[in-house]
Structures are given as structure tokens and as C-alpha cells.
Amino acid sequence: MSSIWEKLKYKQMKKIIVLGAGMIGSAIAIDLSSDYEVTVVDKDSHKLNPLKEGHSLRTIIADLSTEIKIQEMIIDYDLVIGSLPGFMGYKTLHSVISEGKDIIDISFLPQDTFKLDELAKENEVTAVVDCGISPGLSNIILGYYNRLMEIEEYRCMVGGLPFKKEWPFYYKAFFSPLDVIEEYTRPARIVKNGEVITVEALSEPEIIELPEVGKLEAFNTDGLRTLITTMKIPNMIEKTLRYPGHIDLMKMLRETGFFGKDEVNIRGDKVKPIELTSKLLFPYWKPDEDEKEFTILNMIIKGNEDGKQKELVYNLFDKFDEETKITSMARTTGYTCTSVARLILNGDFSRKGINPPEYIGAEPECYKKVMAMLKEKSVNIIFEERLI
């Protein structure tokens, strides 16, 4: 009798489809499969095969490069999770919203997602974008405090790195390598004295020292994204963290055209430099099996609350999970996403339209639930508040 009841209960579960089975997409699918009926889609069977072992979820091999295929895949599901490379993100969002399905997306896409806001509202879709660690968790925190105080300055630094520093790049990619390159080539927008300024990626380097790992380089990347539109904070900046020496290597490749997207003629063949660079570079960036790595997030919020000048500091330092074999980048990014998924499926967050994560943080109960769910997953965040 109990087995029949369990089968019936499973059929009544909300249904989620995860598009993309990379390290982060897989972690998202595994986490949600404990509470929901989950399907994962990817064109690479090698990524899907490990998910079949020991997890109650379904896998489908499919090429998601066309809108028709995406809409075909999602038709029977209550919620879509977009975990595809950034260049596929906007098309995926458009496809899902057009089909009238709620979606949470974590891709580092270059387009302005607010251009889909009207379509999402017309189709009564809740679409949460940029729902990773930063942008993502950092936005949720900032959105929460933006209701409580007049913020004058926001500074965020984030990075994911292997503990072992290996020549020549001192780096491994724990999310889409193509999106990593986008961080190095896409111009970065920052806010100074109320003015939006566009600067080069990899610019304004500075050295910071952290007790857990020593010295790291911080440099400008385009991580503020929706905050530039949604927040009226006069000074905002987001920087990415790497081991010292990485900036110069990436600048060399960028400035000499190795990241170029325009075709060049080589002995009669047309080749995009970025495609050749990717072919040569990515094997060096591929993590070893069960490679030990960490993710760092440091946020500083300064402003006025009830006539008092305050500085709020959030620090997150997360490591590879030895028990589950899930990377810290997949944990911190993926569990932020799954926390928001649970809010939507439980009816705690239902705002229609395009929703950057700061909109979630602006609802105090949603903020508290996300932070509580992350704590349950042992994603530990240290908070410090002081008067200045």
C-alpha cells in the first residue's frame, strides 16, 4: 500500500525541467529532485549519465539550440530552470516566456532582459533572471537593505578558484568557460557619483588578501547588470577575483585578438579566433575529477538608517563538498536558484514580469526564507554591522 501511495504522491508533485546539465545545472536538478519531479535536458549524454545513478530524476538528450525544441521540451512542466551558456540565454528566456511558463535563469547573457518584461506580463509569467551567486544572492541581499536604508555605496567582489594554483593560467572554470571569457571581454558598467560609467573588463586591478587563500587580484567585470536600472545608489562596483598573474594573461589574449568573434581567413578557411582559442584553452581550464575549489563573496553596503551611518559586511567562503562531490560554485549558485524555485512553487513569490533577484530581496519574508534555505545547505554567510 505504501508503494502505491508514494507513486501517487510523486505524480502529484510539481514538475520542473532543467535546461542544461553542466556542473551547476546538475546540482540544481539533484537538489530539487528531493521535493519535485525533475527532468534534465542536455545534448551531451556524458553529462546526463551520472545523474541517472542514485537520483530520482529523468534525463533527456536533446539539442536546445532552437526555440521550437525548447518549447517542445517545456510544455508539460510547472517551472523551467535555464542553466545554459550566456549566448543561449536570451533566446531561451524568450521561448519559455512565449510558452507561458515560469522560469528561473542563471545564464550570463549580454542582452537587456527587461525588454521581455511586457511579454512576460502579457503571458502572466514569473521570470527570475541572473539568479546565481553574483549577480543573484548579492542582489537579493542588496534588495533587502535597499528598503531599510538610504544606501550610498555598494561594493561586491566574487570569485571561484581551485585551491591548487597551476601554471600557466592559475585558474579552472567551474561554470561555462564561454561565460568566463565574456567576463574578460564584455565592457563593465559601474556607477560613480550617480553616473553610469563604462570601463574595460579586467581594468582597475587591486590586490586583496584573504586569510583562507592569501593574495588575490580583483578587477572590473559587468556584474552590476540590472542593479544599474533598479537601484538609485550613487556608487556601485562589482569585481571578479583571480590569483595574481591571471589578469595579464587574459589581457594579452584579448588584446592580440584571440578572443575575437570576427572570422579571419587562414589558407582559404574562415575561422573565428574565439573558437580556436576555446579549443586550445578549455582543456587547461577543465577541473580535475573531485578538484578542491572555493567560492568567495564579499559585499560591503554603506548608508544611512534612521539617522545613523552604517556599514554592512557580508562574507561567504564556501568549499568543495567532499561528501556530495558538488563544487562550491555549483552549491552557492545552484542553491540560490533552488531556494528561489521553492519560493515560486510554494506561492511565496509570484510577481509577474522580469524579476531580477533584488525584487525578491525587497520582499522581507522571501529574503529571510532564501537565507534560511542556504543555511540549511551549509552555505554559511558571516554578517557584520558597524557604525561609521
Alpha carbons within 13 A on the beta-carbon side of 280: 10
Lowest mean pLDDT among 51-60, 76-85, 154-163, 309-318: 51-60
CATH for 19: 3.40.50.720
Model confidence over 321-366: pLDDT tens digits? Answer: 999 999 999 999 999 999 999 999 999 999 999 999 999 999 999 9
Are 121 and 200 within one domain? no
Are 168 and 263 within one domain? yes
Residue 215: inside a domain = yes
Q: How confident is the model at residue 12 (pLDDT cuts 50, 70, 90)?
A: low
Q: Give the per-residue pLDDT at 369.
A: 98
Q: How confident is the model at residue 10 (pLDDT cuts 50, 70, 90)?
A: very low
**Range of 27's domain?**
2-129
Mean pLDDT of 58-84: 95
**pLDDT at residue 7 tops 70:** no
Residue 335: inside a domain = no
Lowest mean pLDDT among 10-14, 25-29, 167-171, 325-329: 10-14
- Do residues 249 and 169 make contact, with C-beta atoms less than 8 angstroms apart? yes
End residue of a domain, out of 95, 129, 163: 129
Residue 284: inside a domain = yes
Are 150 and 117 within one domain? no
Classify the C-alpha dihedral 338-343-345-346 as positive or negative. Answer: positive
Q: Could you give the percent of the chain with pLDDT greater than 90?
A: 86
Lowest mean pLDDT among 46-55, 286-295, 356-365: 46-55
Q: How confident is the model at residue 13 (pLDDT cuts 50, 70, 90)?
A: confident
Are 107 and 177 within one domain? no
Q: In the predicted model, what is the mean pLDDT of the chain? A: 93
Alpha helices (runs of H) in 193-299, residue ranges in sequence order: 227-230, 246-255, 273-285
Are 191 and 224 within one domain? yes
Are 49 and 77 within one domain? yes
Mean pLDDT of 252-273: 93
- Do residues 133 and 349 make contact, with C-beta atoms less than 8 angstroms apart? no
Q: How confident is the model at residue 4 (pLDDT cuts 50, 70, 90)?
A: very low
**pLDDT at residue 62 tops 50:** yes
Are 85 and 154 within one domain? no
Q: Is 114 helix (H, G, I), strand (E, B) or coil?
A: helix
Dihedrals φ, ψ of 95, to 5°? -65, -45
Q: Is 170 helix (H, G, I), strand (E, B) or coil?
A: coil
Are 106 and 142 within one domain? no
Count structural domains, the chain.
2
**pLDDT at residue 3 tops 70:** no
Residue 59: inside a domain = yes
**pLDDT at residue 234 tops 50:** yes
Are 292 and 160 within one domain? yes
CA nearest 293: which of 328, 244, 326?
328
Q: Could you give the percent of the chain with pLDDT greater than 70?
A: 97
Classify the C-alpha dihedral 126-130-132-133 as positive or negative. Answer: negative
Kindly state the DSSP code that residue 27 receives in the 8-state scheme.
Answer: H
Are 123 and 179 within one domain? no
Are 58 and 199 within one domain? no
Lowest mean pLDDT among 173-182, 314-323, 338-347: 173-182
CATH for 164: 3.30.360.10
Q: Can you point out the beta strands (E) in the chain?
A: 15-19, 37-42, 57-61, 79-82, 102-105, 126-128, 150-162, 188-192, 195-199, 206-210, 214-220, 235-242, 264-266, 269-271, 293-305, 308-319, 353-355, 381-387
- Do residues 161 and 146 make contact, with C-beta atoms less than 8 angstroms apart? no
Q: Is 320 helix (H, G, I), strand (E, B) or coil?
A: coil
Are 48 and 121 within one domain? yes
Q: Could you write out the DSSP letters of every residue in 38-93?
A: EEEEES-HHHHGGGGSS--EEEEE----SHHHHHHHHTT-SEEEE-S-HHHHHHHH
Q: Give the per-residue pLDDT at 11.
A: 44
